Structure 1
Amino acid sequence: MNATKEPMTEYGYKKLTEELNDLKKRQRPETVIELDIARSHGDLKENAEYHAAKEKLAFIDARIAELSDFVSRSQVIDPSSYEHDKVRFGSTITLENLETNEEVTYSIVGSTESNPDLGLISYHSPLSKQLMGRCVDEEVVIKLPVGTQEYAILNITYCEIDFEVKFK
């Protein structure tokens, strides 16, 4: 397992721990019961319910291990507690593509909270890494899988992200 700290917001930590608790306290016990019931039906070679429950249990156990790792490495960060005079975790950045003059806005969040379609990019993403530490009015050449693009940083702020609204 990876030992590096995983930055995330309070919301991200809460969602991870809620899912982990649900898996451990509800889904896994229910699946163990399903497995026991299916096992009692006899011949295991041709018992579809048994094999389905066994696969479901394996998936749940793998997800529990993954979430337990994330939770143990989590570092909850409150982005409202520091200045956003440069790009940092939790910053909301408005960029202008210098070729197309198109503006885009992204917020830098933890990897488990990211959703690029909603403007939430992972702290570990190539774009985020290339923006970290930059200031307003800086021009930056961003290397992306589709090639390089030049952007100007128009604004850096901290905006409280309403994850409940974003993920509905």
Structure 2
Amino acid sequence: MSNISYYTKEGLQKLREELNQLKDIERPKASQAIGEARDKGDLSENAEYDAAKEAQGLLELKISKMEETLSNARLIDESQLDTSKALVLSTVKLKNQTNGMEMKYTLVAESEADLKNGKISVNSPIGRGLLGKKVGEIAEITVPNGTLKFDILEITRS
């Protein structure tokens, strides 16, 4: 079963660059390490050779998973998104009804989430609670501590 992931143009480019880094730089380094360990003698008692082979196996697994992710990646067409409600790539300004604190989050795909920069995954509890909401609505979001209520103040596209 394929697991489709949605990416922004920047997120997809970052994924491709990371894959190229692994294939073009890390893979030759792993092969070189195996070659150097092989040159040191008896392979049956060569821990360095075993470690290099294991590292290569892990690298190949990572490359394989990344290639699968890339093959199932879909680019989000921002021009087709409805701007009246909170969707992926929406920047939502909220007000916590309990403490009056205002915050702003951009809803992104899980792979691009970065809380420090105000980007939260649409799969997170808050992200799921905001999806489909419009300005003026109240989002009731269940989190481990209970239920939070947020007023939706503003929705913009980033």
TM-score (ref. length: structure 1): 0.85
Q: Matched residue of 2:110: which SS?
A: coil
Q: What is the RMSD of the two structures over their aligned residues, measured on CA atoms?
A: 1.8
When Rg is computed on C-alpha atoms for both structures, the one with the higher figure is 2
User: Does the Cα contact within 8 Å between 1:12 and 1:110 map onto a contact in 2?
Assistant: no
AA aligned to 2:55 is K
For 1:164, the equivalent position in structure 2 comes to none
User: Does the Cα contact within 8 Å between 1:95 and 1:105 map onto a contact in 2?
Assistant: yes
Residues matched between the structures, number = 158
Deviation at 1:48, TM superposition (A): 4.3
AA aligned to 1:21 is N
1:1-168 equivalent positions in 2, closer than 5 A: 2-44=1-43, 47-159=46-158
Deviation at 1:7, TM superposition (A): 0.8
Q: Which moved more, 1:134-143 or 1:30-39?
A: 30-39
Deviation at 1:46, TM superposition (A): 5.1
User: Does the Cα contact within 8 Å between 1:107 and 1:119 map onto a contact in 2?
Assistant: yes
For residues 41-96 of structure 1, give each alpha carbon's deviation from its aligned partner in whole angstroms, at most 9, with x where no partner exists: 12446534323322321221121122112101111113255342100110001111
- d(CA) in 1 for partners of 2:64 and 2:54? 15
Over the matched positions of the two proteins, sequence identity in percent amounts to 36
Q: Matched residue of 2:41: which SS?
A: coil
- d(CA) in 2 for partners of 1:123 and 1:46? 50
